[in-house]
Structure 1
Amino acid sequence: MKKILFSAITALMLFSCQNDQAESSDSNSNLNAVSRRGCASQQVFEAQLKADPTLALRMNEIENFTKKSILTNRLVNGKIEIPVVVNVLYRTTAQNISLAQIQSQIDVLNKDFNALNSDYNNVPALFSGVKANVGITFVLEQVIRKSTTKTQWGTNDAMKKTAQGGIAPTSPTTKLNLWSCVIGNDILGYAQFPGGPSSTDGVVIDYRFFGLSGAANAPFNLGRTGTHEVGHWMNLRHIWGDATCGSDLVSDTPTHNEENYGVPAYPHYSTCSGTPVEMTMNYMDYTNDNAMYMFTNGQKSRMAAIFTSGGPRAAFGI
């Protein structure tokens, strides 16, 4: 297992998931299959850093606070309930996702963050000692819908701004805001890291990959785009640390060469120092929805730290 490392650059990064298949902005493109995840995090990071250079200092403070909270074991006791507001921006009937599809995403989050997912027991014996029940629950509080003429929204947070035709977040310091829309540019979803502006805080998911039903498309039709992105919203990095043999700042995840795609055969060995078996089934890798099904205790501690008194999401805690 790797040592926890810190870099102000990686701490700044917002996280997003994209596929590598081109699609047109026309709604007919929604019939196209998406074969793999990818990442546009660097572009999102650079835009936010340019807009607010002080973000680096805030993220450094959050990282130091997180380390201290974990070391002192000053963590909340898993009694965190997250109210969720879902903002639906739609141009077509298909994009106006149903309440059932929205609730299915909430249900997936509750299962995945509480070790109730049916594939949790598929975790290999090698990792059974570190697999975690995060113990955070989610409750759908409100759905806000808005018709739009936009064919896609991009990653500049336009969907979160009323002046640009979007929907502003509702009480973002005490509620998790999710946006369902057509993102475009082959993006599945993206999240804002703790420490960013409250006016754009939350998670964006392309409507095709939101929850289990309706427009959700395989191989990303099990709601795990939401689980992955909410993990980022709770301060988790990608498991490969966004660099070759990089660090995700968690002590009990193995060092990965890079992201993994599809459904990797187990065991999949890293060529990094020590040649560890990679944890390809971790929610913070880039595997298909049916191939990711665990968080670790270290990731749990990292997520819990942001909800402690003085943490960036303390208003959600107890």
Structure 2
Amino acid sequence: MKKILLSAAVLMLMFSCNKEENEIVDSPETTTLAHRGCASHEVLDRQLKEDPSLAQRMKEIEFNTEKTIAQGRIVNGVLEIPVVFNVLYRSSSENISQSQLQSQIDVLNKDFNAQNSDFNTPNNPYSSIRANVGIRFVLDKVVRKRTNKRSWGTNDAMKKSNRGGIDPTSPTTKLNYWVCTIGGGILGYAQFPGGSSATDGVVIDSKYTGTNGTASYPFNLGRTATHEVGHWMNLRHIWGDSTCGNDQVSDTPTHNTANYGVPSVGHRSTCSGTPLEMYMNYMDYTDDRGMYMFSNGQKSRMLSVFSTSGPRASFR
């Protein structure tokens, strides 16, 4: 098990990844993806380079997160988050239906409240620390806009009307969810707490949103949004974005790297102590059917961002 190490977190944020995603314009999208692709860490790395003050803000968030968890000052009850869908479409298939968008809200509500049908999957070695996060999502409104772009990349162009996208709606009180074709094998990405409100929210491809309509196997159960909203609430990938890295959560095991597909029960890390990997965690890279839980430590970390001193306190 890992201890939360503030200094390690800051170093990880600043130096652990030097890959930068570029905008992808008018390039064809692959028809089938073999593995989950999340660009949240790469987008964060770009934002850290573009805004030198972001590292200090995130350092302060980490300090307040540790303090809030240690003192037990976590939001009680169920927090309700309004969701604004910003749909950018070139074809009719990309202009996904209200039903498909609502199915995504339904998945978020189940996954964040331990009501998902696979929550009680047998032989889960981590069943004792499964979390009911206690956050409710409500569809606030849908904004739709036709575009000529085939794909948008990961440089936040879809969030800016002056670049053909859609500006966020009340990003300090509503979760903005952009639906568009990202390209480059990326299913989605999120902005971590501390970034600019002008680009705050999550971006997810229309083919990996919700559970009906154009939702595509093996990412057709709405778990891409669960994963990305986890990032939006300050969760890291479970392997810490480096070999045997640290996700800053005390009750998740150390992972070698990302898991793909659906690993067999009993899959062990080769990191120190060879712990059982928590591949069924929403913050790994498994197929949608392979992920079905957050841990209690992740719950505390997520709820801390909504505390009175947290970076998303305005959502209370």
TM-score (ref. length: structure 2)? 0.93
Residue 258 (structure 2) aligns with: 259
Q: Which residue of 3, 10, 28 corresponds with 1:8?
A: 10
- AA aligned to 2:59 is N
Does the Cα contact within 8 Å between 2:16 and 2:241 map onto a contact in 1?
no
Residues 245-302 of structure 1 show CA distances to partners (whole Å, capped at 9, x for unaligned) of 1110000001111110001001101111111100000000000000000000000000
Aligned to 2:106, the other structure's residue is in SS state helix
Q: Alpha-carbon deviations, 1:150-199, whole Å to 9, x = none?
A: 11111000000010010010000000000000111111000000000000
Please say if residues 188 and 203 of structure 2, whose CA atoms lie closer than 8 Å, have aligned partners that are also in contact: yes
Q: Secondary structure in 2 aligned to 1:144?
A: strand
- Contact 1:14–1:191 under 8 Å retained in 2: no
Shift of 1:44: 1.7
Q: What are the equivalent positions in structure 2 for 1:16-165 lying under 5 Å apart?
A: 25-26=27-28, 29=29, 32-122=31-121, 124-165=123-164
| 8 Å CA contact retained: 2:44, 2:192 | no
Q: Using the alignment, how far apart are the partners of 1:195 and 1:41 within structure 2?
A: 14
**Structure 2 letter corresponding to 1:179:** W
Contact between 1:70 and 1:305, CA under 8 Å: does it hold in 2?
Answer: yes
Report the CA distance between 1:123 and its aligned residue: 5.9
Question: CA–CA distance in 1 between the matches of 2:103 and 2:15?
Answer: 28
Distance 1:278 1:47 in 2: 29
Q: 1:122 to 1:171 in 2, by over 3 A?
A: same
Offset, 1:79: 2.1
Q: Percent identity?
A: 64
Question: Does the CA-based 8 Å contact 2:13-2:45 persist in structure 1?
Answer: no
> Whole-Å Cα distance in 1 between the matches of residues 73 and 291 of structure 2?
29
1:279 to 1:63, Cα distance in 2 relative to 1, 3 A: same
The amino acid across from 2:12 in the alignment is T
Change (3 A) 1:263 1:286: same
Where does structure 2 lack aligned partners over 5 or more consecutive residues? 18-25
Distance 1:39 1:188 in 2: 6
User: 1:39, CA displacement in angstroms?
Assistant: 4.3
Q: Secondary structure at the match of 2:116?
A: coil
Shift of 1:204: 0.0
The CA deviation at 1:45 is 2.6
DSSP 3-state at the match of 1:129: helix
Letter aligned with residue 102 of structure 2: Q
Change in CA separation of 1:229 and 1:92 when aligned onto 2, cut-off 3 Å: same
Counterpart contact for 2:176–2:202, Cα < 8 Å: yes
CA distance in 2: counterparts of 1:296 and 1:217, whole angstroms: 27
Superposed displacement of residue 47, structure 1: 2.3
Residue aligned with 1:142, SS: strand
CA distance 1:57–1:123, shift in 2 (3 Å): farther
The amino acid that maps onto 1:8 is V
Distance 2:16 2:196 in 1: 12
- For 1:238 and 1:306, locate their aligned partners in 2 and report how far apart those are by CA, in whole Å: 17
Which residue in the other structure is 1:200 paired with?
Answer: 199
Query: CA 1:42–1:234 in structure 2 vs 1: closer, same or farther (change >3 Å)?
Result: closer
* 1:7-34 CA distance string (max 9 Å, x none): 214346999xxxxxxxx834xx56x221
Structure 1 stretch displaced more, 49-58 or 64-73: 49-58
Identify if the C-alpha distance between structure 1 residues 12 and 215 changes in structure 2 by more than 3 Å, giving closer, same or farther: farther
Deviation at 1:231, TM superposition (A): 0.2
- Given that residues 306 and 312 in structure 1 are in contact (C-alpha distance below 8 angstroms), is that contact kept between their aligned partners in structure 2? yes
- Superposed displacement of residue 213, structure 1: 1.0
In the TM superposition, what is the alpha-carbon distance from 1:2 to its structure 2 partner?
1.8
Question: How many aligned positions are there?
Answer: 306
Q: Distance in 2 between matches of 1:123 and 1:99?
A: 34
TM-score by length of 1: 0.93
Q: Which residue of 1 aligns with 2:176?
A: 177
Equivalent in the alignment of 1:316: 315
Contact 2:84–2:175 (8 Å) recurs in 1: yes
CA RMSD of aligned residues (A): 1.7
Aligned letter for 2:55?
A
SS at match of 2:27: coil
Write the deviation string for residues 214-247 of structure 1: whole angstroms up to 9, x where unpaired.
1111000000000000000000000000011111
**Cα offset for 1:40?**
3.6
